[in-house]
Amino acid sequence: MLEGKRILLVIGGGIAAYKALDLIRRLRARGASVVPAMTQAAEQFVTPLSVSSLAGVEAHRALFDLTREAEMGHIQLSRAADLVVVVPATADLMAKMAGGHADDLPSTLLMATDKRVLIAPAMNVRMWEHPATQRNLRTLIADGVLVCGPDDGDMACGEFGPGRMAEPETIVAAIDAALSAGPLTGRRVLVTSGPTHEPIDPVRYIANRSSGAQGTALAEALRDLGAEVVFVTGPADAPRPTGARVIEVQSARDMLEAVDAALAPDAPAIDAAVFAAAVADWRVASASNSKIKKRPDGTTPALEFAENPDILRTVARRAEGRPGLVVGFAAETDDVIAHATAKRLRKGCDWIVANDVSPATGIMGGTENAVTLISDAGAEEWPRLTKTETARRLAARIAAHLTGPDHEDRGAA
């Protein structure tokens, strides 16, 4: 898909700049040509010689270079590419882009281009979570900028959290998707994610250990295949997917209400629905409006539980407006395949993605997953993968199902 494509690669000044070297190698291996442009700060992390050697052309570095301007002005350079990619997109570069600054060659190229721009953010977790960065991110998305990552992970500074740049292979996939229509272009997919919080009183609630990472990864993988994603999430720790319509909810009943609204007759049709959320099975029947206090006599309050609505079953058994593909998740701790198989039949969904969330697996709240895809065709066990890769495989299967049997081989990859 990248054969003959021309990528203008803007390299920002962050420790993740070293990954740009691997990205150049991967892009050229797939037939793309790469024209690099470096910020001055980028040269503190990777040398222009290394970048130029891998790209096969000299890296552009200075805005006021008479020789360069005579041979190819920065306006022409910014428009000769099929896609502009910023790796890493530092907090400073994102701020410049959002504010429309053009005080060096890379920022001027980004202002002058008439092509699509894809950024791969990378920075310290606190910088990523800072209101200014999140405000700039929203501005860039509204401007049509595509975003790949960031991932959760260990930082060079020793901290852990969102802000780690996406791996080169993930960025290549995002570039591929940006330069192609994508098999899910024109399709709408609903994804639920995260835990639900069921109130006991205004202070306390019932919850579970779901981080929402798998749901976010799945929404981003479907987005990268061209889908319009409606993302309904409980109060998850994971960052929300960029490029999706995000609907925040708290309880299971809130989530059902949001799902029903997305599937309403007057709403655009949903082609597939994936229920990755870890919805609480029960709630407190009569949550207190005031904080429950300790009793002087030492007795404990009795909590009466009520069963929550079964969102997956409700949607899977809809008489009207049922999505063409309904996928559930089954988080189990024992007899995983047997329980998940029975759940699929009981709920009436098309597929169940089963996984073992016993504490020893580290899957619930972790960065990896090991799933078995259960359908009418049987149970297919997948190897343990990152949640990003698991999401990409499942998204490919969904695309194959929705676009017909001619795509099955690609979907199984």
| Active site residue ranges | 157
The answer to whether the beta carbons of residues 138 and 147 sit under 8 Å apart is no
Distances (CA, A) of 84 to 34, 115, 120, 182, 396: 10, 7, 11, 18, 25
HSE at residue 347, side-chain half, CA atoms within 13 A, is 25
The answer to whether the beta carbons of residues 311 and 255 sit under 8 Å apart is yes
Distances (CA, A) of 394 to 121, 131, 271, 380, 400: 25, 33, 15, 12, 10
* Residue 343 assigned as binding residue: yes
* Residue 23 assigned as binding residue: no
Cα gap 209→314, rounded to integer Å: 24
Cα gap 148→164, rounded to integer Å: 11
Length of the chain measured in residues: 413
Residue with tokens 């281009």: 113
The token pair that represents 340 in the structure block: 């998940």
* Residue 334 assigned as binding residue: no
How does strand 151-154 pair with strand 228-233? unpaired
The token pair that represents 100 in the structure block: 């429309």
* Residue 329 assigned as binding residue: yes
> Residue 309 CB: number of other CB atoms within 10 A?
17
Cα gap 371→200, rounded to integer Å: 33
The answer to whether the beta carbons of residues 125 and 160 sit under 8 Å apart is yes
* Residue 296 assigned as binding residue: no
* Residue 281 assigned as binding residue: yes
Asked if the bond preceding 121 is cis, omega within 30° of 0, the reply is: no
Under DSSP, the state recorded for 413 is: -
> Residue 295 CB: number of other CB atoms within 10 A?
9
* Residue 311 assigned as binding residue: yes
Which among 17, 274, 229 has a CA at the least distance from the CA of 121?
A: 17
How does strand 117-121 pair with strand 146-147? parallel
The answer to whether the beta carbons of residues 357 and 331 sit under 8 Å apart is yes
Q: Where are the beta strands (DSSP E) in 71-135?
A: 83-89, 117-121
**Binding-site residue positions for CTP:** 281, 291, 309-312, 329, 343, 347
**Binding-site residue positions:** 281, 291, 309-312, 329, 343, 347
